[in-house]
Chain A
Amino acid sequence: GAVVSQHPSWVICKSGTSVKIECRSLDFQATTMFWYRQFPKQSLMLMATSNEGSKATYEQGVEKDKFLINHASLTLSTLTVTSAHPEDSSFYICSAIVSGEPTDTQYFGPGTRLTVL
């Protein structure tokens, strides 16, 4: 199957700093990627849809100025958590879509655990 990678796998930062997380599709091109956030013992919550060459589409309640998404190429999307605070500590997972019939298939990255001190 298709491979999606994320970097870094974990990061610890001080409150107020910004953190960038990369999501790459390794063996396919992805015009659409998704960013999810998962708090402990909870489900995956869709944050935004990242579209190559255009602005991301954010879900209700997700601050676009705080979670900056850039999808500059067909294999890379980045999520930058700006001015991170302890409540932003979470497991961030990206996914990418492989087109197919009758439906597309979603492949997940390994996740990035963010801890904000």
Chain B
Amino acid sequence: GENVEQHPSTLSVQEGDSAVIKCTYSDSASNYFPWYKQELGKRPQLIIDIRSNVGEKKDQRIAVTLNKTAKHFSLHITETQPEDSAVYFCAASRNTGGFKTIFGAGTRLFVKA
């Protein structure tokens, strides 16, 4: 079945350093790849997304890359700040045969001041 693998499960970085989270997906029909930030007890918040016709997208300190051939996509956070500490989820969505999103297992990011 459809699957999204996410690594690492936990990531600890020093403030100011970069953080990279990687995901792979299995469903070839996936064409939309959102990234969510979730703080404890709250809803997932969309922070950036990328569509299958684009290889890279950047929004200030956050960037996402997509390699559709390899079915890999990654989140890059530069100049990390303590407030970036949260759980980050990647997801792969498709629209064909009905909209469906599969989430990765999540990465708990700790940014140490």
Please encode chain A, from 97 to 117, with 1 for each CB lying within 8 Å of some chain B CB and 0 for all others: 100001110101111010000
Q: Is B51 an interface residue (CB 8 A)?
A: yes
Cβ–Cβ contact A44 & B41, under 8 A: no
- The smallest beta-carbon distance between A110 and chain B, in angstroms, is 5
Please encode chain B, from 72 to 113, with 1 for each CB lying within 8 Å of some chain A CB and 0 for all others: 000000000000000001000101001111111110100000
State which residues 64-117 of A face B: CB under 8 Å: 91, 93, 97, 102-104, 106, 108-111, 113
Closest residue of A by beta carbon distance from B106 = A43
Please encode chain A, from 31 to 64, with 1 for each CB lying within 8 Å of some chain B CB and 0 for all others: 0101000000111111001000000010010000
Q: Is B53 an interface residue (CB 8 A)?
A: yes
Chain A contacts to B: CB under 8 angstroms: 32, 34, 41-46, 49, 57, 60, 91, 93, 97, 102-104, 106, 108-111, 113
Chain B contacts to A: CB under 8 angstroms: 1, 31-32, 34, 41-44, 51, 53, 89, 93, 95, 98-106, 108
